[in-house]
């Protein structure tokens, strides 16, 4: 009977499998019109690069497992949408 309990217990354990969310970003900076929409006048990628801003890059959020990764990604995206993101937070743990 002890063996049956051990077998059942080991079958219910889910393995730890790390996950990572990869965000491919294409950045544009544009002038806003009078109603707050992009006017179509975009800052050139060359000018942004001269200012130290890359226009194409990848961000990643890693997690201990699938749900941890998804929760961290959601949290960081929510912070970004609110404007509360701090430098480097999208990259890490």
The reply to whether 40 falls in a domain is yes
Higher pLDDT, 88 or 14: 14
CA 2 from centroid of its chain's CA atoms: 45
pTM for the full model?
0.61
The secondary element (H helix, E strand) that includes residue 47 is: helix 45-50
**Percent of residues, the chain, with pLDDT higher than 70:** 74
The reply to whether 67 falls in a domain is yes
In the chain, the number of structural domains is: 1
d(C-alpha 62, C-alpha 20), whole Å: 4
Domain with 61 in it: 16-82
pLDDT for position 32: 87
Work out the average pLDDT over 22-41.
Answer: 90
The reply to whether 32 falls in a domain is yes
């Amino acid at each position: 009977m002890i063996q049956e309990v051990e077998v059942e217990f080991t079958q219910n354990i889910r393995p730890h499998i790390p996950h990572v969310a990869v965000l491919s970003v294409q950045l544009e900076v544009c002038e806003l019109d009078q109603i707050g929409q992009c006017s179509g006048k975009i800052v050139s990628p060359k000018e942004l690069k001269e200012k130290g801003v890359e226009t194409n890059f990848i961000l990643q959020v890693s997690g201990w497992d699938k749900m941890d990764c998804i929760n961290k990604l959601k949290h960081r995206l929510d912070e970004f949408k609110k404007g509360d993101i701090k430098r480097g937070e999208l990259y890490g743990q």
